[in-house]
């Protein structure tokens, strides 16, 4: 996605963000009360296809006479209100990172399935695929999975999915990476993975200037 003129926050009123803990961070720091966020900490693209803990609009009365919302899968949630969404942001890859070819192949298959699900349930939506973020140098050098080379390889997979499925690729890796391809230590938590509030503000501004 090339840079474009900045949109206002209203652009995201009919947007849904789907993915891992970075989506939870977006919910906390983006200040977009009209947007929808389906974030699950630690989840992968494959697991998102079967996760069944999303709150639905449909309600029921429990044994105490209290009204509760039913829970369901992402497919259930999108079936309820997918037609309302005109922009869908998919944020996956970090929890799937691994050095083997099968890691990348499994991720490709699962991410393609998620795009297919969105296309069925939100047929008029623009689909944005968000790249993985860089990792800190300390984390990268100590981990077989969470390292720079794997992040770059998985971003290539996300690019492949964007081409195969005619979705838009958002390269936020380059937004945060230093000249060596690492996430600066002062931009993340001690885990070397999760960014801080100022970086979420930068991420929001990036999304606002990379739209169709």
Q: What digits encode the pLDDT tens for the residues 139-153?
A: 999 999 999 999 999
- Nearest to residue 118, comparing CAs of 209, 172, 30, 38? 38
At 18, phi and psi to the nearest 5?
-125, 130
**Torsional sign, CA 77, 45, 90, 17:** positive
Task: Note the pLDDT of residue 51.
Answer: 98
Give CA–CA dist 111/77, Å, rounded: 18
Give how far the C-alpha of residue 87 lies from the chain's centroid of Cα atoms, to the nearest Å: 13
Is residue 110 within 8 Å of residue 49, measured between CB atoms? yes
Task: Note the pLDDT of residue 180.
Answer: 97
Helix axis angle for 74-81 and 101-121, nearest 10°, is 30
Task: Note the pLDDT of residue 77.
Answer: 95
Bridge partners, 128 (sequence order): 89, 168
How many residues in the chain? 212
pTM score of the predicted model: 0.95
DSSP symbol at 67: E
Q: What percent of the chain has pLDDT over 90?
A: 93
Spans of the chain, pLDDT less than 70: 82
Is residue 132 within 8 Å of residue 173, measured between CB atoms? yes
- What is the CATH topology of the domain spanning 9-208? Rossmann fold (3.40.50)
């Amino acid at each position: 996605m090339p840079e474009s003129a900045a949109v206002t926050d209203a652009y995201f009123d009919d947007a849904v963000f789907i993915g891992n803990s970075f989506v939870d961070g977006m919910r906390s720091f983006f200040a977009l009360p009209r947007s929808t966020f389906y974030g699950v900490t630690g989840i992968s693209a494959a697991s998102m296809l079967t996760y069944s803990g999303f709150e639905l609009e449909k309600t029921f009365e429990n044994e105490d006479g209290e009204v509760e919302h039913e829970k369901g899968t992402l497919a259930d949630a999108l079936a309820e209100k997918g037609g309302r969404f005109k922009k869908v942001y998919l944020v996956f890859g970090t929890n799937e990172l691994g050095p083997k070819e099968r890691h990348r192949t499994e991720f490709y298959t699962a991410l393609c399935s998620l795009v297919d699900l969105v296309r069925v349930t939100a047929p008029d939506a623009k689909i944005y695929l968000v790249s993985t973020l860089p990792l800190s140098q300390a984390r990268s050098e100590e981990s077989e999975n969470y390292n720079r080379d794997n992040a770059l390889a998985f971003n290539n997979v996300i690019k492949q999915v964007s081409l195969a499925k005619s979705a838009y690729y958002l390269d936020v890796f380059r937004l945060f990476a230093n000249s060596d391809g690492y996430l600066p230590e002062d931009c993340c938590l001690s885990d070397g993975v999760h960014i801080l509030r100022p970086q979420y503000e930068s991420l929001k501004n990036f999304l606002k200037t990379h739209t169709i």
